[in-house]
Each structure stands twice: as structure tokens, then as C-alpha cells.
Structure 1
Amino acid sequence: MIRYPVLDKKTVIGVTAPSSGVGEELRELLELACVRLQKQGYGVECGATAWTQEKAKSAPASVRAAEFNGMMADERIGLVAPPWGGELLIEMLEQVDFGQMKCKWILGYSDISVLLLAVTLRTGIATAHGTNFIDLRGEETDSVTAMWEQVLSTPTGGSVVQHSSEQYQLEWGGGDPSPHVFNLTETTSWKTVGHQTITMQGRLLGGCIDVIRHLIGTPYGDVRHFQQHYIQNEPILWYLENCELAVTDLRRSLVQMKLAGWFEHCSGLMFGRSAANRPVENYTVEDVYQELAIELGLPIVYDIDCGHLPPQVTLVNGAFAEVEVAGSESGDQSGRGRVIQYFRN
């Protein structure tokens, strides 16, 4: 059974850095985000790790884990939101107290998706793959990013609808302080292998493939146990995004996931946009998707609003989702996507 937290507009948001902190040179970005969320009525409490960064991490693994465990146990905190991702979150997993976690939201992406996926697989608590806390610092927020609040406020048994964006940002970057945060200039088009209209249903799981692949074979990546004990063997609908992998490394990682059984009893796969998807000896990411679709016999959607080329929809690990993407035969609706998430146990 999946347990869903519910966001209370008056809750305290705990900001801790289980991966990277902001460091002194980017302190203003975090300060702006804190002020913006406080103006919206939330309490904001930043842990010490949020402000520090040295040797590719905010703090030693034991310090990061202790601060995270403390926020997960704190009754006042209803949402734990790291400032952003990083590189070495996996170091702290063995010190995370999964057994004593209270049912509250964790929101983020990139390296944070290691924690999100591990928490849901180990505990059955739903986690939210979506905007960074830092990216909520703008005076205005685009309609896709802004859905994080509505998604996290959905009660158990309820549902929430999200639509593909109109435009996306061509490159990812921490950015300078700005009213809008994102520079949305490119036309969004969700695509399907075979260019046909696709409808998929299943329990959502996923994250940044660069990092979640390292959970394979560990106690934190037991997909089969999750499927049997938490979702009664319902099919899994995977969403994955590539931050930095070469196309050939992406292919190796997907084959590894397949060999590890992660794609058993799966209803389909979705891939986010990526600036890393450059051809290797004329081997393209479209070739990767085509080969995977044939091998698995499953529908594949790609270039969705997920990952390091914002904006992105908020996808809840453990939720039941219906995904519809209009193929090229749909005329003016081609490239449009819709995700309905049902918060059912």
C-alpha cells in the first residue's frame, strides 16, 4: 500500500542538502527562494548543510544523513526540499533511518532522485520528482512548475491532471537572480516511438538515470520487492531523464536495468529531454529508444517535461498514472501530452 503525504499550506518546509549545498557564492539564490516561499505562507527552516559546499558535497555523509533524519522526524516539517541536486547523495543512504520516517513529502530531482526512489521502494511512502527549491525563487513561476503545490496538496484517493508545457529552456543552469528564473524559448513536443498516439497506465517510478542506476543490486533498489509488497504487482510506468550520459552509456544503463529485472511487468517508459543526447558514431538516442521499444515490446514516450531542461511536471513515485501523448496523426494536437495521477493506495 502506498502512503501519500498531504501538503498543508501552513506547514514548515525543511531545506537540507543531502547532496550539494549552495555555498557562499550562491547564497543569494537560496535566500530569495526562502523569502518567496515565506511570502506564500509557508514556514521555511534551513539546515546548516543547505549553506555549505566543499569537495563535491554539502558536508560529510554522516552530517547530511543526521540532518535529513532530523527533519523527517520533526512533526513541524511537512515538506523536505533540498536546494538542488549534486553528485554524491548515494554516500549517505546507509545512514538514512528508513524505519522511523514520518509520512511527509520529499521534493526534488537530479541527484535527489536517488533518495526519492530509495525512500519509495523501501517504505512505500510516495515521493515527488519535480522542481528544485532554488527554482522557486522567481517573482513569477511558469504554469507547469507551479503545479508542484497542487500535486502535493492532492488528498489520498484524489487525482490531479498536468499538461505538457508550451515551451522549454534550451540549457540547464543555476542561473543568476531573475524575476522568471527560466528562459522558456523552445517549442515543446512530446514524441513517441513510431509517431503514434500512445496511452499508458501504471505506477510511476523513476528519476535521473545517471544516478538511480547505481541502486541496482543494492538494498535500496529492490524493485521486485516494492512491486510485490506495496503495489500488488501492478505494472510500473518508468520515467527517466539523462543529465550527462553519452548515448552509448545511456544504452548500457538501460540494458543493465533490463538485466536486473527493473523492466519486468512494466507498462511503458518515458524519457525527459536532454542536452546530453548527442550521437556517437551516428548512433542516436532515437536509435536507443527504438531498440528498447522492440526488445521490451513496450510503448516509449520521449522529450517529456522532466529533468534538466525545465520546466518539468511533478511526478509522484508510487502514484497510479495515465499518460496520453498525441502522435503525428493527431494533426494540431501532435506532441501534446497529459498526465493524470491518481493517489490511490
Structure 2
Amino acid sequence: MITYPLLQKCGTVGVTAPSSGVELELHDMFKQAVSRSEERGYPVICGETVWTQDRAKSAPAETRAKEFNRMMQDNSVDVIIPPWGGELLIEIIDMLDFESFKNKWILGYSDTSVLLLATTLKTGMATAHGTNFVDLRGEYSDTTTVMWEEVLATKEGESVIQYSSDKFQEKWDHEHPSPEVFHLTEKTTLKTLSDENVTLKGRLLGGCIDVISHLIGTPYGNIDEYQKEFIHNEPILWYFENCNLATTNLRRTLVQMRLAGWFDNCSGIMFGRSSANDTVENYDIKDVYNDLEQDLKVPIIYDIDCGHVPPQMTLINGAYAEVEVKDGKGKIEQWFN
């Protein structure tokens, strides 16, 4: 059975850096995010790892793991939101004390999704794939990003609905800061391989495919055990976002997942927008999706609001979801049961 944390209004946000911390020259930007959170009624406790970054990590693995464990055990911290992702979170996975974790939300994406997926698979506690902390520094949030708060405040036994964004950000423009952080200029259109309307149902699992794939074959990526122990063999509805993989590398990763049994009892797969997906020898991203659909015989949805091309929905690992795509627009309802 899945357990669901509950975000309390004015709950304390714990910010720790299990992957990358914040470089000195970006401290002011991070402090702005802290100020915005506190203005909105959410006090912030920052760990020491937040303020340092060297050799592709915020601190040695032992230091990062101890600080994260401490925040997960601390009753005064209500939700943990890392500043952002990074590269080497996987170094701390075998140092985490999963059995001591309190029932609280962990929210983030990118490299943080290694932590999210491993936590849900090991403990049955739902985790939240969505905004990172630094992207909450704006005067206000766009209508997609802002849903993180409502989603995490959903009570067990209830459901929450989100809709696809109207527009997405094609590229960053740091020279001209936006009041809502992102520069949303391009029309959002969700796509299916059949170009027909699609409805998918299942238990959500997923994250950044570049990094969560490294859990395959480890004690922290046991999908079969998770299905049996926590979701009673209900079908899994997977969502992925691709940060850096070219099409052939993405294809290899998806085949490895299939061979490892990750797609056994799968009801469908959703892919987020990506600025990666580089074509290799005429093998393009749609070829990847077509090959995967032929392998698995399940529907594929792509260009959803998920990942490194903002904004993104808040997707809950472990929640039961129904996703509808109709005429390029999407609706997702997640049940916390």
C-alpha cells in the first residue's frame, strides 16, 4: 500500500543538496528563492550542503547522505525540496536510512529523480516529481508550476486534477528575468503516435531517464518487488524526461529497461519535452517512440509538461492516475489511494 505525505499550510521547507549545491556567484539567486518561500508563508531551513559546490557535487557523499537523513528524520521539517538536480546523487543511495524516513514529501526533478524513485520503490512512500526550489523564486508562478502546492496538499483518499500548460519555454533568457521565472513563448501540444485521442491509467512511476536507469539491477530499482509489495500488481504508467541522451542512447536505455523487466505490466509511457533527443544517422526521436510502442504494444504520449523544458506538472510516484490527451491538450487526475 502506498503512503502519502500531506503538505500543511505554512509547513517548513527543508532545503538540502543531495546532488549539486549552489555556486558562490548564484547565492543571491538562491536567497531570493528563500525570501519568496517565506513571503508565501513557508519558513525555510537550509542545510550546509546548499552553499557549496565543487567537483560536480555539493559535498562528499557521506556529508550529503547524513544531512538528507537528518532532514528526513526531523519532525520540524515538513517537505524537502533540493535547490536543483545535478550529476552524482546516486553516490549517496546506499547511505540513506530509508527505514527511518518520516512521512514527508520530497519534491524535485533531474538528478533528484534518482532519490524520488528509489525512495518510493524501497518504502512505498509517494514522492513528487516537479519543480525544484530555485525555480520558485519568481514574484509568482505560472499556472502549471504553481500546482505543486495544491498537489502536495491533497489528502489521502482524495484526488487532484492538473491540465497541460498553454505555453512552454523554448530557451532560457537570463538577461531579461521574468516575474514568473520562465519565458513561456511556445504553444504546448501533447502528441500521440496515432494522432488520436488517448486515455491511460495506472500507477505513476518515472523521472529523468538519464539517471534513474542507473538503478537497474540494484536493490534500489526492484520494480517486481515494488509491484508485489506496494501496488498489488496494478499496471504501471511510466513517465520519463530526457536531459542529455541522443536517440540511439535513449533507445539502448529503453531496451535495457525492457530486458530488466521494468515494463512488465505496463499500461503506457509518457515522455516529456526535451531539448536533447538528437538524431543519429536519420534515427530520430519519433523512431524511438515507434520502436518502443511496437516492443511493448502500449500507447505512447509525448511532449508532456515534464522535465528540463519548463513548465512541468507535479507527478506523484505511487499515485493512481488517469491521463487524457484530446486535441493536443492533456488532463491528469491523480488519486492518493
Category of TM-score, reference length = shorter chain = over 0.9
1:153-168 correspondence to structure 2 within 5 Å: 153-168=153-168
- Partner of residue 132, structure 1: 132
1:1-345 correspondence to structure 2 within 5 Å: 1-171=1-171, 178-326=178-326, 334-344=327-337
Change (3 A) 1:176 1:30: farther
Matches of 1:102 and 1:89 in 2, distance apart? 20
Q: In structure 2, give the amino acid aligned to 1:214.
A: H
Deviations 1:167-196 (A, max 9, x none): 001136888854221000111000001111
The 3-state SS of whatever aligns with 2:307 is coil
- Runs of 4 or more, structure 1, over 6 Å off, are 173-176
Q: Is the 8 A contact 1:172 1:310 kept in 2?
A: no
Q: In structure 1, give the amino acid aligned to 2:41.
A: G
251-260 or 20-29, which moves further after superposition? 20-29
Matches of 2:173 and 2:72 in 1, distance apart? 29
Deviations 1:113-163 (A, max 9, x none): 000000000000000000010000000210000000000000000100000
Matches of 1:135 and 1:296 in 2, distance apart? 36
Matches of 2:164 and 2:179 in 1, distance apart? 22
Structure 2 residues not aligned, in runs of 5+: none
Number of aligned residue pairs: 337
Shift of 1:207: 0.1
Deviations 1:80-113 (A, max 9, x none): 0000000000000111000110110000000000
Shift of 1:295: 1.1
Q: In structure 2, give the amino acid aligned to 1:342.
A: W
Q: Is the 8 A contact 1:171 1:275 kept in 2?
A: no
Change (3 A) 1:180 1:281: same
Shift of 1:239: 0.1
Structure 1 residues not aligned, in runs of 5+: 327-333
Matches of 1:36 and 1:159 in 2, distance apart? 28
Deviations 1:58-80 (A, max 9, x none): 00000000000000000011100
Q: Is the 8 A contact 2:144 2:164 kept in 1?
A: yes
Change (3 A) 1:311 1:158: same
The 3-state SS of whatever aligns with 2:78 is strand
Q: In structure 2, give the amino acid aligned to 1:275.
A: S
Q: In structure 2, give the amino acid aligned to 1:221.
A: G
Deviations 1:278-318 (A, max 9, x none): 21111110010011111100000000000000000000000
Q: In structure 2, give the amino acid aligned to 1:164.
A: S
TM-score normalised to the size of structure 2?
0.98
The 3-state SS of whatever aligns with 1:139 is coil
Q: Is the 8 A contact 1:29 1:177 kept in 2?
A: no
